[in-house]
Amino acid sequence: MSSTVAPKIVLYWLEQSKAHRILWLLEEIGLKYDLKIYKRENGLAPEELKKINGLGKAPIISVEDPSLSPEPIILSESALITEFLVSNYAPQLAPPPSDLKANLRYKFYLYYAEGGVFQPLLVHHILDMVHTASPFFIKPVVGGLLSQLKSRWLNKAYDDHLGYVERELEGKKFLLGEHFSGVDCLHSFNWQSLEKLGALNSQRYPRLMEYWNGLQQREAYKKAQEKVKGHKALL
């Protein structure tokens, strides 16, 4: 802990967004926080969120901790929030600073949460939106077109990323090895969404599925689910 006085934390949580992994992380760390729940408007984040930090994307956290800064710290970008919370309040959820190799691996996964499989996942959602919105008389042709794009680009992208993580998990319990860390929370959004889309399954990626099933058994994960009961957490 950076201070003996508990920090005052607010999490701005939006339904069906990446905010859910930060809620889970706060539960893993055991920090106290206020939870502010926002609803989507026509599928989009409400304009109200822009008042918090100008960008208007969830999650956002506000941290009041005089031992770090005289002013409240307002952060967006889930990976930055993860890095910040872990480094200040839960250093046990990152590799020891002396281990360069492990730290570069940790940082790789911090960046890779948005830089990797999330990108084809986003494209997948948008292609499905195109298909759903197609008028009935072109739906079959559009469907064929999207199938081509999926088999040419999307499946290759999934294979590249999921295949990579599947190989990386060999002999490991968590992304970094024996110990649960901040990046295990951070990547959960991807696994949950990909499982729902059928791209992540135990036939093709058995280790990844076993790992992901294990994460969902954690007490903190269940507590996070409980906190937003009645809201749709993920895509």
Query: Contact residues for a copy of itself (CB under 8 A)?
Result: 44, 54-57, 68-69, 73, 75-80, 83-84, 100-101, 104, 107-108, 110-112, 114-115, 119, 122-123, 126-127, 129-130, 133-135, 138, 141-142, 145-146, 148-149, 153, 156, 160-161, 164, 167-168
Name the minimum Å distance from CB 167 to a copy of itself.
7
Name the minimum Å distance from CB 18 to a copy of itself.
9
Name the minimum Å distance from CB 44 to a copy of itself.
7
Name the minimum Å distance from CB 104 to a copy of itself.
7
Considering beta carbons, is residue 124 or 227 the nearer one to a copy of itself? 124
Name the minimum Å distance from CB 78 to a copy of itself.
8
Residue 3 gets the label, from left (phi > 0), alpha (psi -120 to 50) or beta, of beta
Considering beta carbons, is residue 7 or 227 the nearer one to a copy of itself? 7
Q: For 48, how many CA atoms within 13 A lie in the half-sphere containing its CB?
A: 10
d(CA 24, CA 19): 9
Considering beta carbons, is residue 164 or 206 the nearer one to a copy of itself? 164
Name the minimum Å distance from CB 228 to a copy of itself.
22
Considering beta carbons, is residue 158 or 220 the nearer one to a copy of itself? 158
Name the minimum Å distance from CB 107 to a copy of itself.
5
Considering beta carbons, is residue 3 or 164 the nearer one to a copy of itself? 164
At 99, which amino acid appears? D
Considering beta carbons, is residue 53 or 225 the nearer one to a copy of itself? 53
Q: For 216, how many CA atoms within 13 A lie in the half-sphere containing its CB?
A: 11
Considering beta carbons, is residue 54 or 198 the nearer one to a copy of itself? 54
